[in-house]
Structures are given as structure tokens and as C-alpha cells.
Amino acid sequence: MTVTKRRFALSILLLLLLTAVVVVIVLLPSFTSPFKGYEGEKVVEIPKGTTIAGAARILEREGIVANRWSVRLIFRLRFRNRSLHAGEFLFDQPLSPEEVIRRLTSEYGLLLTLTVKEGENLFDIVDTLKRADWKGSDRFLEAAQKRTDLIEDLFPGAPSLEGFLFPDTYRFARGVSPDKILETLTLHFRKRFLPLWSHRPEGFPLTVPEVVTLSSLVEKETAVAEERPLIASVFRNRLRKKMLLQCDPTFIYALRKDGLWSGKTGSKEIHYDSPYNTYVQRGLPPGPIGNPGEEALKAVFSQTESDYLFFVSQNDGTHRFSRTLEEHNRAVYRFQKRKRVF
């Protein structure tokens, strides 16, 4: 080989090395540094049977990683003995390609969707988490009883977070802790409740715990929006007259709370001795019996006035309201075919 050819070959080699160095310098951050190319949070679905190459394309397109090649290379080097999970994954913070792959190869990275419906209580939420096969479901109730510091300023001495877990649909990574779920739900409660509280009518007589407790009773008694203010007025009227509220959902909650609910509603269940049972205790229960939605809260804040003291289901989702016991008994006979006083 002539000197000229050697110099040419060396030049080519140096050019290739320089190119490789430049490529490494340019691409290295995308291989090692956390990246977030989307706003807020992002849910990414990895279909069943997706290869690592296909997953890398999806991740790059959704802004989870800066480039697909980092995912493919790191997977081949460090995760080739693992399998990708199919399903939905939640991303809400910058992650390195290695952290992204760890999430995709771990069931804890899969999405947990939690829907809390208006009126549902802690026991309902636990049931939902169990149906979702979330591994933290057995610890959720205990955490909700311990983390009352989250609402200490709103409800000093609260027995649990019952009533302060705002109904909505939430999304978490499956590796989320019970504390993180509770923090998210109570924060959402604050965002929706505090504006209502700050604009409450002048001279509003109820405290925050009383508002939430009364709202939870209203929420459990009716799903009809226009009835909620009237239901609230009935309870307020009975409270003023020191009458028993006799709200069915309270004795059911009392039994569920003590692990004794069997689905029966006989005399024994109705008169179960508990501070939550408004058939045996006057006044409001010591705390909410469920988690009220915004409309139930608004119904209590509205302070709608009426002279009703009774209501009974008309078996079509609505209620018949009565001013006197005599009127109420007639309504019970008509709609329930039996004489039972609320």
C-alpha cells in the first residue's frame, strides 16, 4: 500500500471515529437522561404481542423517550431476559429509558384506574380495588383510618378519611401506595369543596364535618338532583325538632363498619346500637357514611327551606314528601304497601 493510500485510509478511519464520537455525544443524553416530551400525564397502551421495536416506536411517538434506539439498545443489553407487559401504563414524570423499560417489564407499572362513585364509602372503594386486583387493597382501609392528618384542619379528630375522598375517576401506576391514593383523593376534595365553603351563606350554621356528614346522608338517599335540597331540608327540620333522622343508610353503614352487615333489614338491623345509626341516636352521625359528590354538597349549602318532615320512596327513583305523620303513613301505605315510619 502506497503512502497516499495509507494516509487516505487513516483519514477515513479518523473520520469514522470522529463521527462515532459525535454520535455518542449527541445521543448519549437520550440514552441515560430522564425525558418528558408531553404535558401533564400520559397513558400509553402497549398492545398484546408488541415487540420491543414496536414498543420503542410507541414510546417515542408519545414523547415518553427521546428516541426509540435508546430503548432497543438498553433492552438488548440489560433486559433481554424479561418480557414486556401488555396493557395501559401511566407516565407523569421524566424517566430515563432504563426506568421506562423497568416500568414496562413490571406489573407495578401497569395502570390502576380507580372510580369512586358518588355516595360510595371506604368499604366500597376497597371492594373496587380488590376487583382491580390491586395488591395494596388490604392495606387501604387501615391507611384511611391512620392518615387523618390529611384533613386535620377540616375535621379535627376525624375517625377516618370517610367523606373526604372526592368521587371521580383517578389513574395511578399499579405500584402506587395507599398513602399516595389517599393524598390524591383528599387533595381533589379540597379543590372542589373549599370554593363552596368560602362562599357559604352568611351565618351558615354548620361546621365542615357537619356539612360533609349531612351531604353524605343526602347523597345516599337520592340520586335525583332536584330532590337533594329537599332531602337536606327534611333532615335539618328534624334536627331542629330533635327528632331521630331515621336514615336507612346509616344503620347499614354502622353494620358494615363493624363487619356485621348481612344484607338483611329487619328490626334487629334497624335498631343496631351504634353512634352511626340514626334510628337509635339523635343528631348527625359522628362522621360521614360515604363520600358525597359536589351536587350533594351544594344541596346542603343551598339551605333550601321547606316544612317537610318525612319522605318515602315512590319506587321510581323519586320520593313523596310529607309534612305530617298522617300524610306520611298514607304515602307509605300507597307506595310501600306497608306501614313503616321513617
- The answer to whether residue 1 scores a pLDDT higher than 90 is no
Last residue of a domain, one of 153, 177, 197: 197
The answer to whether residues 229 and 162 belong to one domain is no
Length of the chain: 342
CB atoms within 10 A of CB 186: 21
Report if residue 19 sits inside a domain: no
Q: Are residues 120 and 105 in the same domain?
A: no
- 69 and 117 part of one domain: no
Are residues 144 and 182 in contact, defined by beta-carbon separation less than 8 angstroms? yes
Per-residue pLDDT tens for 55-90? 999 999 999 999 999 999 999 988 989 999 999 999
Span 99-149, pLDDT tens digits = 999 999 988 789 999 999 999 999 999 999 999 999 899 999 999 999 999
What proportion of the chain, given as a percentage, has pLDDT over 90?
A: 75
Please tell me whether residues 144 and 99 are part of one structural domain.
Answer: no
Query: What's the total number of domains in the chain?
Result: 3
235 & 314 share domain: yes
Across residues 332-340, what is the average pLDDT? 69
Supply the mean pLDDT for the chain.
90
Q: Is residue 2 domain-resident?
A: no
Burial class (CB in 10 A: 0-12, 13-18, 19+), 342: buried
284 domain-assigned? yes
Arithmetic mean of pLDDT, 39-59: 94
Same domain, 332 and 212: yes
Residue 20 counted as domain residue: no
Give the model's pLDDT for residue 26: 47
Question: Do 135 and 192 belong together in one domain?
Answer: yes
CA dihedral 122, 167, 132, 144 (to 10 degrees): -30
Amino acid at 163: G
Q: Choose the weakest-confidence range: 4-8, 67-71, 311-315.
A: 4-8
Cα(178)–Cα(175) distance, integer angstroms? 10
Domain check: are 173 and 125 in the same one? yes
Locate 69 and state its grid cell. 434506539
Counting residues of the chain whose pLDDT is more than 70, the rounded percentage is 89
Cβ pair 310, 327 in contact under 8 A? yes
The mean pLDDT of 154-178, rounded to a whole number, is 95
214 and 330 inside one domain: yes
Q: Is a pLDDT exceeding 70 seen at residue 21?
A: no
Residues 217 and 313 in one domain: yes
Please indicate, yes or no, if residue 24 is contained in any of the structural domains: no
Residue 50 has pLDDT above 70, yes or no: yes
**Over residues 315-333, mean pLDDT:** 89
The whole domain housing 270 covers 207-336
Which of 109, 124, 141 terminates a domain? The answer is 109
| CATH number of the domain enclosing 57 | 3.30.1490.480
- For residue range 244-301, list pLDDT tens digits in order: 999 999 999 999 999 999 988 889 999 999 999 999 999 999 999 999 999 999 999 9
Rounded average pLDDT over 166-181: 94
Could you tell me which residue, 265 or 21, shows the higher pLDDT? Answer: 265
- 7 falls within a domain: no
pLDDT at 287: 97
Picking from 109, 137, 157, the residue at the C-terminal end of a domain is 109
Whole-model pTM?
A: 0.81
Instruction: Point out the least confidently predicted range of 12-21, 52-61, 162-171, 195-204.
Output: 12-21
Closest C-alpha among 116, 79, 122 to residue 99: 79
C-alpha triplet 23, 24, 29: angle, nearest 5°: 115
Q: Say if 151 falls within a structural domain.
A: yes
Residue 128 shares a structural domain with residue 73: no
In a domain, 268, yes or no: yes
Domain match, 78 and 161 both: no
